[in-house]
Amino acid sequence: MPLASTSRDMTQPAPAESSASPIPPQPAQGASRSVLTLGALGVVFGDIGTSPLYALQATLDPRYHLRAAVTDLYGIVSLIFWGFVFVVTVKYVFIVMRCDNRGEGGSLALYALINRELGAATPKRWLLVGALFATSLFFADAMLTPAISVISAVEGLGVVSSAFKPWIVWIALAILIGLFAIQRHGTDRVGRLFGPVMLVYFITISAMGLYHIAQTPQVLGALNPIWMVTYFTAHPLFAFLSLGAIVYAITGTEALYADMGHFGRVPITIAWLAICFPALMLNYMGQAAMLLRNPEFIDNPFFHMVPPQLTIPLLVIATLATIIASQAVISGAFSVTQQAIQLGFMPRLRILHTSSQARGQIYIPAINWALAVMVAVLVMGFRASAAMLPAYGLAVVGTMLITTLMQYVVVFRIWRGPWWRGAIGFVVFVTIDVVLLASGATKLFEGAWFPILVGLVIFTLLTTWSTGRRLMRESMMEDGLTLPGFITSITGSVHRVRGTSVFLSASPTGLPAALLHNLKHNQVLHERVVLLTVEVEEVPQVDPASRAEIHPEGHGFFRVILHYGFMEDVDIPRDLAAAAVQTGIPFEPLQTSYFLGRQKLIASSAVPGMALWREHLFAWMLKLSESAMDFFKLPSNRVVELGSQLRI
């Protein structure tokens, strides 16, 4: 059923980290900064926080011909430290997180912000392509993060005993299947434990690092950037190739931006600077210090940091942390999907709310089980975290590069600060992203093809849906009828019956096809006829007082426009009733009928539009779309659907 959009040619709810974490509602009123900071530890930093399990180990892979020697270990640790400084702290914490869309972050929210602020001056084509491809890469990341995180933790069993090695894949698979199975119950209660568990985890990895640093304190010198120069001078080619593995240390950085709407910029900043950054660096330096003394532990340095009797407790803590990281990205997939649906880039899907208090707690069955299948395929196909890492890095850096380009549209076009300052930052950050991307691309045939393939497939689906809906809308509006002309033509000639009829309309000015079909077949109209258009604005939430526009058109006709933010649910009966109370217009739910148009698409090469294969793809997506009655929360016993065939 068609609906309108404020800024793009969509015909369902329209106007938007990726990221690898959820995009929940605004922080609760009165929530203390310490509570929000603790919550950010559990949701925002689960991904980047678990990187010590595999990042240093992956960098010392034999393919790079690096050794557990001072030059190599100090160079790697120095690169990780300065990556945290420039990429995470300066770029994301101090710049990107200021590019918020009224408190919300993420690629689609950033696109909506730019589009709203610049209007017709927005570089729409490349900006939209960038936002959609970043969103597509996020879904690839949502497949890879649970697989890599959980299996990397379970691989600690191999340190306990080699007898566990044949069972690692099956244990990881069992944990992941259980994780996806419980999603329908919601994460409200479990979510309260995320922060404390991650706090224990960060304290644990800090203590592990401090223990080994105390035995080899000279490792603190690795923070000197001169070691990066020494590292690249010693073996330029292998140092460059290893950058594709060093990037694993900063995976999850996009979560800082995507989760702003839940926790706010200040709590996330505090959590990073006061807890996460120090804990991660202590652990990385501790791993390097241990390897200098025990180079034979290069096979799994993280779990070798503790005595054998503490391996099992560490394994439990690490597994819980990876489950939290996985939970965060799964919830993020639900939130990004909801955002994409509202902005008109995905078909309607069934969305279930799992909490009566937390609006961000949602569950989308189709996305949940699609992710579950892909994660299982990845675990069974790659069978080890090291084998999956090349794919992981490229998805992360690709999203970062797109975010950098979009962020500097804000810096140059909206903030309009000194151009030289913006230019310096642009050159520095784009250079970093491009170099990391180039290094990761060298692993194209080792698994880096996966996020590219997934990104292209999802990008095709997103653009096919938005283009198809635009073509459908244009086709349905070809008759050119206007409401004043229609009212004049039927005045005195059509029988009117008691009650109210609501016709959902794609356009705030045109006539819905369902109205014309109803008049043609039933030859009656209700005494009150409401032409209802839903407009999704390019803001996260809309002030409830500004929700409804009501325009009396005479002769019992009303044009009603309901405004929603792209993070809000559409509930037509609730908001129509509220608008009626405010304006005094009679609205009786039990005497109101909702008329919906249902189009059967016929793909045809004779009509200019999309390629024929994309028209067939769009028709398939249209069939999968959830019923408009359920999506818009219409009462099932008051809905009438009128079908028609349509060629695009």
Q: How far apart are CA 388 and CA 382, in angstroms?
A: 6
Q: How far apart are CA 488 and CA 486, in angstroms?
A: 5
- Whether 382 is in a domain gets the answer yes
- The CA-atom distances, in angstroms, between 438 and each of 63, 145, 430, 434, 435 are 17, 21, 12, 6, 5
Last residue of a domain, one of 414, 431, 461: 461
> How many angstroms separate the first and last alpha carbons of the chain?
16
Residues 406 and 510 in one domain: no
- The β-bridge relationship of strands 362-363 and 352-353 is antiparallel
Q: How far apart are CA 271 and CA 578, in angstroms?
A: 41
Which pLDDT value is given to residue 479?
55
Identify which has the larger pLDDT, 629 or 473.
629
- % of the chain surpassing 70 pLDDT: 89
Which pLDDT value is given to residue 24?
38
Identify which has the larger pLDDT, 191 or 46.
46
3-state helix, strand, coil in the chain (%, to 5): 65, 10, 25
- The β-bridge relationship of strands 495-504 and 592-602 is parallel
Q: How confident is the model at residue 184 (pLDDT cuts 50, 70, 90)?
A: confident
Q: What does the pLDDT look like over 71-81, one tens digit per residue?
A: 999 999 999 99
Residues 418 and 564 in one domain: no
For residue 59, give the 3-state DSSP assignment: helix
Residues 549 and 431 in one domain: no
- Whether 380 is in a domain gets the answer yes
Range 483-489 average pLDDT = 85
Q: How confident is the model at residue 589 (pLDDT cuts 50, 70, 90)?
A: confident
328 C-beta neighbours (distance < 10 Å), count: 32
Across the chain, what does the average pLDDT equal? 84
Range 211-232 average pLDDT = 95
Predicted confidence (pLDDT) at residue 18 exceeds the cutoff of 60: no
Per mean pLDDT, which range of 78-92, 447-461, 566-580 is the poorest?
566-580
- Whether 505 is in a domain gets the answer yes
* Burial (CB count within 10 angstroms: exposed 0-12, middle 13-18, buried 19+), residue 74: buried
Which pLDDT value is given to residue 227?
96
**Cα–Cα nearest to 208, from 117, 317, 124:** 317
Range 436-461 average pLDDT = 90
Q: How far apart are CA 258 and CA 142, in angstroms?
A: 14
Predicted confidence (pLDDT) at residue 3 exceeds the cutoff of 70: no
Residues 538 and 448 in one domain: no
* DSSP state at residue 101: B
- Whether 6 is in a domain gets the answer no
Which pLDDT value is given to residue 56?
92
* β-pair partners for 501: 529, 593
Chain position carrying tokens 């349905």:
476
CATH number, domain at 77? 1.20.1740.10
Q: What does the pLDDT look like over 417-427, one tens digit per residue?
A: 888 888 999 99
Q: How many domains does the chain have?
A: 2
Residues 328 and 188 in one domain: yes
Range 270-274 average pLDDT = 94
Residues 429 and 548 in one domain: no
* DSSP state at residue 66: -
Predicted confidence (pLDDT) at residue 408 exceeds the cutoff of 60: yes
Q: Which residues of 123-140 are buried (b: 16+ CB within 10 A; e: fewer)?
A: eeeebbebbbbbbbbbbb
- Whether 8 is in a domain gets the answer no
Chain position carrying tokens 């202590």:
282
Predicted confidence (pLDDT) at residue 279 exceeds the cutoff of 80: yes
Residues 492 and 369 in one domain: no
Predicted confidence (pLDDT) at residue 321 exceeds the cutoff of 80: yes
Last residue of a domain, one of 461, 492, 512: 461
Last residue of a domain, one of 404, 431, 461: 461
Predicted confidence (pLDDT) at residue 21 exceeds the cutoff of 80: no
Residues 432 and 512 in one domain: no
- Whether 547 is in a domain gets the answer yes
Q: How confident is the model at residue 13 (pLDDT cuts 50, 70, 90)?
A: very low
Work out the angle between the directed axes of helices 277-293 and 70-83 (0-180°, nearest 10): 170
Residues 107 and 225 in one domain: yes
Which pLDDT value is given to residue 30?
41
Range 341-356 average pLDDT = 81
* β-pair partners for 548: 562
Which pLDDT value is given to residue 271?
92
120 C-beta neighbours (distance < 10 Å), count: 6
Which pLDDT value is given to residue 9?
36
- Whether 412 is in a domain gets the answer yes
Range 28-45 average pLDDT = 74
Q: How confident is the model at residue 517 (pLDDT cuts 50, 70, 90)?
A: confident
- The β-bridge relationship of strands 639-647 and 548-554 is unpaired
Range of the domain at 264: 18-461
Residues 144 and 173 in one domain: yes
Which pLDDT value is given to residue 14?
35
List, in order, residues 6 or more apart from 568 with CB less than 8 Å away.
342, 540, 541, 542
Residues 281 and 391 in one domain: yes
* Burial (CB count within 10 angstroms: exposed 0-12, middle 13-18, buried 19+), residue 498: exposed
Which pLDDT value is given to residue 385?
82
Which pLDDT value is given to residue 4?
33
Range 115-144 average pLDDT = 86
Q: What does the pLDDT look like over 232-271, one tens digit per residue?
A: 999 999 999 999 889 999 988 887 887 777 778 888 999 9
- % of the chain surpassing 90 pLDDT: 32
Q: What does the pLDDT look like over 559-582, one tens digit per residue?
A: 999 999 887 888 898 888 888 777
Range 31-53 average pLDDT = 84
Q: How far apart are CA 374 and CA 138, in angstroms?
A: 14
Which pLDDT value is given to residue 522?
84
Q: What does the pLDDT look like over 529-561, one tens digit per residue?
A: 999 999 888 788 888 888 988 888 888 899 999
Residues 52 and 92 in one domain: yes
Q: What does the pLDDT look like over 149-168, one tens digit per residue?
A: 899 888 888 888 888 888 99
- Whether 77 is in a domain gets the answer yes
